[in-house]
Chain A
Amino acid sequence: MKEKNKVSIFNKMNDTSLLLTITIVIFFLMYIGAVLFQGGGFSKPQMFFNILNANAALIITACGMSIVMISGGIDISVGGVVALVSMCCAVYLDKTDSPSLLVSVLIAIGIGVAYGLVQGFLVAVLDIQPFIVSLAGMFFARGMTTIVNTAPFNVENQAFIALKDTRVNVPFLGSYNKKGIYVPAYIEIGVIVALVLVILLFVVLRWTKLGRSFYAVGGNKQSALMMGINVRRTKFLSHLICSTLAGIGGYVYFLHVGSGSASHAMGMEMNAIASSIIGGTLLTGGVGNIIGTFFGVLSLSTIQNIVASAGLDEAWWTGITIAAMLCIFLLIQSVVMAQKKKAIKA
Chain B
Amino acid sequence: MNETTLLKMRGIVKSFPGVRALQNVDFTLNKGEIHALMGENGAGKSTLIKVLTGVYPKDAGNIELEGKAVAIHSPQDAQNLGISTVYQEITLCPNLTVAENMFIGRGEGVLTNWKQINADADKLLQSLDIPAKATQQLSNCSIAVQQMVAIARAVDMDCKVLILDEPTSSLDEQEVEKLFGLMRDLKEMGVGIIFVTHFLDQVYEVCDKITVLRDGQLVGEYEIKDLPRVQLVAKMLGKEMDDLSDIKGETNEYKGKDAGEIVFEAKDLQSDAGIKPFDFFIKKGEVNGFTGLLGSGRSECVRAIFGADRILGGKVKVHGKDVKINKPIDAMRNGIAYLPEDRKIDGIIGDLSVRENIILALQVLTGFFKPFSKAEANAFADEFIEKLNIKTSSADKPIKALSGGNQQKVILARWLLMHPEYLILDEPTRGIDVGTKVAIQKLVLELASEGMSVTFISSETDEMLRTCSRLVVMRDRKVVGELTGDDLTQNKIMATIAGGE
Contact = CB atoms under 8 A, between A and B. Distances in A.
A228 B112 contact: no
A14 B141 CA distance: 12
B114 A287 contact: no
Interface stretch (A54-62, A76-84, A213-221): A213-221
B110 interface: yes
Given A212-B104, A216-B104, A229-B104, A15 B95 contact: yes
Q: Dominant SS at the A interface?
A: helix
Nearest to A13: B137
A51 to B, nearest CB: 31
B109 A220 contact: no
B47 interface: no
B111 A228 contact: no
A210 interface: yes
Q: Is the interface of B mostly helix, strand, loop or mixed?
A: loop
A286 B95 contact: yes
B23 interface: no
A222 B344 CA distance: 14
A208 B92 CA distance: 19
Nearest to B76: A228
A201 to B, nearest CB: 15
A230 interface: yes
Interface residues of B, number: 32
Nearest to B87: A226
A209 B112 contact: yes
B96 interface: yes
B105 interface: yes
B93 A286 contact: yes
A25 interface: no
Interface string B117-151: 00000000000000000011101100000000000
For this complex, into which size category does the number of interface residues on chain A fall?
A: 20 to 34
B106 interface: yes
A15 B137 contact: yes
A346 interface: yes
Contacts of B96: 212, 215-216, 219
Contacts of B80: 228
B75 A215 contact: no
Contacts of B85: 226
Interface string B95-106: 111001100111
A212 B92 contact: no
B91 interface: yes
B104 A213 contact: yes
B79 interface: yes
A220 B150 CA distance: 14
Nearest to A18: B137
Given A228-B105, A228-B106, A212 B91 contact: no
B94 interface: yes
9 contacts: A11-B140, A15-B95, A216-B105, A219-B95, A219-B96, A226-B55, A226-B87, A229-B104, A286-B94
Interface of B: 55, 75-76, 79-80, 85, 87, 90-97, 100-101, 104-106, 109-112, 114, 135-137, 139-140, 153, 274
- Lowest 6 A-B CB distances belong to which pairs? A219-B93, A219-B95, A286-B95, A228-B105, A14-B137, A226-B91
